[in-house]
Structure 1
Amino acid sequence: MTNPQFLWLRKNLFSNWYNSLLSVVCFAFLVWLARGIFIWTTTQAQWAVVEVNLRLFLVGRFPQSLYWRIWIVLAIASTLAAVTWGIFSHKQRFSKPKIVIFILFFCFLLVVLPLDFTSRLWLLFNAVLLSLGLWLGRKFTKLIAPLLSLIWLLSFPIILWLIGGGFGLQSVSSNLWNGLLLTLLMAIVSILLSFPIGVLLALGRTSNLPIIRWFCILYIEIIRGLPLIGILFLAQVMLPLFLPIDLRLDRIMRAITGLILFSAAYMAENVRGGLQSISRGQIEAAKALGLNSLLMLTLIVLPQALRAVIPAIVGQFIGLFKDTSLLSLVGLVELTGIARSILAQPQFIGRYAEVYLFIGLIYWIFCYLMSLASKRLERQLSN
């Protein structure tokens, strides 16, 4: 009996002489490229720039004596993420290889990362919470699932309180929120706020009221016609001019405002595409059942529209997360900005490849996780 893998190779890579030649040439090129990358990574690259400045990459100038608050934030976020993952994967069984890979991954982090003993204990504690959250999400799916959105919503002010302080905790200036911490914070806040605004703009663009419809159309078309960096500069310079004299937003809030205004316009068009996919017959059937406009939107139209455009919405979230790298151009020291500061250190001048490969890996990990979550959500909703 012929091996299926052999048949696939023969059909797709070696079906004729020129496909076979092209496959061999591409394979040889990939081997040469992988060999060069491996040699450079293991013998030529100076990874000390990452090892010495790991704390700066992750939390910037956040006071070292208050790192325990960051670890608690990580524990809350990882536990809730694990619970969410467990709820969406409760129908699937985890194989032993996946469990072994999970254990080996955290063992690798404990050994390789240049952390002190206290940080290693915190990392181990987070690994335990991840496992516990995954078990809770899978075991008590029916109990936790209806409350999951509310739990996430309540956790957010707690996270901001732990990072910024106040109400009994030592205050930490937003100027000290740097590195990956600032990148994640700004991306999450912008995503959470731009999504409902985008939905409202999409609904407004399809409204029968001319004033609302034309306002939404003008907003969407004007914002989509401007580059993000221009909107960020306008938010930093002109936004204070429209606010009362006694109200002053710091640079982080102004940057978040610019990201929200920009992303909401693109989100609106993604949602509008989903709204157009809903047949007129379903809307008429909902009206025939006596549903008012609000119930029709929340129960019939929006669930189907949003499910149809999940890939586009997640793609917008991924783009917004990567767009936070532009914040370094307006004076914010996020992940890309902290990389520039590290490259200015005399002992690491010229280490561009190592630094940007490291932050590129960080961006890729979070973008891949969002893509993976969207696929799992699509699969769950299609069942």
Structure 2
Amino acid sequence: MSMETYVKTRRHPALPPPGKATGLIGWMRRNLFSSAGNTITTLVCAAIIALTVPPFFNWAVLDAVWYASDGGLCRVEGAGACWAFVEAKFGQFIYGRYPAEEIWRPNLVLLLFFLNLAAVLTPRMPYKGWLAATLLFIFPMFAWGVLHGGKFGLSVVETSDWGGLLLTLVIALSGILASLPLGILLALGRRSKLPVIRTLSVLFIEFWRGVPLVTVLFMASVMLPLFLPEGVTFDLLLRAIIGVALFASAYMAEVVRGGLQAVPSGQYEAAKALGLSYWQMMGLIVLPQALRVVIPGIVNTFIGLFKDTTLVLIIGLFDFLGIIRANFTDANWASPNTAATGYVFAAFVFWMFCFAMSRYSLYMEKQLSQGERR
């Protein structure tokens, strides 16, 4: 009995994956219905979305009042969001009581700031160190000179007339730019081997972390003038910025200290073996690794600082949320939906800025962790 061997001479074409494992159905099976618990959670979330999103969409879009000269249409029964109120007050929401004929000044400052910031945040940008130094040291003085005036032939605009999103950005960006380098110095001081420096750093950090920001703002606006010599005045906005920066730097110091502790001790020993000085070791070896590890914590502190600027209303500064609330008292726009519309608009603007910071931090994490990918 002979045996014949059959050898396949052609490769059989690859079969497509099962339909239930690919596409939208496959994604849903893997992520939404992979287990009984996930299935229940998905169904509960879908029910919540079905109960909340359609009514909100009707209120915010379909039944909304988009154009009106006053709040008369917003007071009609069944009317939704009063977006006409936002349109009418948009200039105040952005600039506060800043003179209309001088609006070009904050526009110029914001444009130059975001262009400089974009250049600093762009990977492989030439002269990035000089750009960062300009943003940290030169630009704040330039911005103050342009916004406040009194120089270069510009009329003086008192900080009491600043407000809206402009004031929020001034306080938040000033606090961010000041708190990061100060937090790094405090973190290094807390890990210093010199008892005096370490003790002073610990006392500073624990004091500011143990005091609410509301108390800090009250101290800056009410108590600080009591310790100044008679006849010496200190701008209220500048006091608020200093208080916010000191408050945020204490939290930033603890975030950076966590990154310093995450750097292996072998990195310190290798830097010392190369004969590097303390500042060379920190600037070239340790801090780049430590800051990369704590990018999420740093951005989280920035986001918290940006939202905490709304507390300056209690000392008489009308930030973005404060100027919106102040306009609720306008009798021409009084309606059941005016306040809700203003708060929704404020929430969207804050979310937009915070989301942008969060997404950029994720991008930076991916860019800086390429060397560790396998």
> If the length of structure 1 is used for normalisation, what is the TM-score?
0.81
1:205-233 CA-partner distances (Å, limit 9, x unpaired): 11111121112112211221111101111
**SS of equivalent to 1:143:** coil
Between the aligned partners of 1:32 and 1:159, the Cα distance in structure 2 is: 48
Q: Which residue of 2 aligns with 1:74?
A: 110
Aligned length in residues:
330
The 10-residue stretch of structure 1 (194-203 or 146-155) with the greater mean CA deviation from structure 2:
146-155
Asked if residue 48 in structure 1 is aligned to residue 91 in structure 2, the reply is no
Asked if residue 33 in structure 1 is aligned to residue 57 in structure 2, the reply is no
Alpha-carbon shift at residue 77 of structure 1 (Å) = 2.5
Cα pair 2:117 2:135 within 8 Å, conserved: no
Alignment RMSD: 1.9
**SS of equivalent to 1:201:** helix
Q: Which residue of 2 aligns with 1:227?
A: 212
Q: How does 1:10-25 map to 2 (within 5 A)?
A: 10-15=29-34, 19-20=38-39, 22-25=41-44
1:338–1:294 distance in 2 versus 1, CA, 3 Å:
same
Between the aligned partners of 1:12 and 1:324, the Cα distance in structure 2 is: 38
1:22–1:194 distance in 2 versus 1, CA, 3 Å:
closer
Alpha-carbon shift at residue 199 of structure 1 (Å) = 1.0
Residue 235 of structure 2, aligned match among 243, 247, 250: 250
Choose between structure 1 and 2: higher helix proportion.
Answer: 1
Between the aligned partners of 1:310 and 1:17, the Cα distance in structure 2 is: 36
Alpha-carbon shift at residue 68 of structure 1 (Å) = 1.6
Residue 155 of structure 2, aligned match among 148, 154, 170: 170
Alpha-carbon shift at residue 144 of structure 1 (Å) = 4.1
Cα pair 2:295 2:361 within 8 Å, conserved: yes
1:161-219 CA-partner distances (Å, limit 9, x unpaired): 22111222111111111110000001111111111111111111111111211121122
Between the aligned partners of 1:22 and 1:202, the Cα distance in structure 2 is: 42
Q: How does 1:1-383 map to 2 (within 5 A)?
A: 1=17, 2=19, 3-15=22-34, 19-20=38-39, 22-42=41-61, 43=63, 44-85=80-121, 87-88=122-123, 141-153=124-136, 154-167=138-151, 168-349=153-334, 350=336, 351-383=338-370
Amino acid at match of 2:135: W
Alpha-carbon shift at residue 55 of structure 1 (Å) = 0.5
Amino acid at match of 1:162: V
Amino acid at match of 1:152: L
Alpha-carbon shift at residue 292 of structure 1 (Å) = 1.2
Ranges in structure 1 where 5+ consecutive residues have no aligned partner? 89-140
Q: Which residue of 2 aligns with 1:124?
A: none
Amino acid at match of 1:373: Y
Between the aligned partners of 1:292 and 1:16, the Cα distance in structure 2 is: 56
**SS of equivalent to 1:249:** coil
**SS of equivalent to 2:126:** helix
1:317-357 CA-partner distances (Å, limit 9, x unpaired): 11001000000011111112111210111123352110111
Cα pair 2:190 2:197 within 8 Å, conserved: yes
Amino acid at match of 2:307: K
1:284–1:336 distance in 2 versus 1, CA, 3 Å:
same
Between the aligned partners of 2:205 and 2:40, the Cα distance in structure 1 is: 50
Percent sequence identity is 44
Alpha-carbon shift at residue 304 of structure 1 (Å) = 1.1
Alpha-carbon shift at residue 14 of structure 1 (Å) = 2.9
Amino acid at match of 1:210: P
Between the aligned partners of 2:44 and 2:237, the Cα distance in structure 1 is: 50
> If the length of structure 2 is used for normalisation, what is the TM-score?
0.83
1:18–1:69 distance in 2 versus 1, CA, 3 Å:
closer
1:46–1:299 distance in 2 versus 1, CA, 3 Å:
same
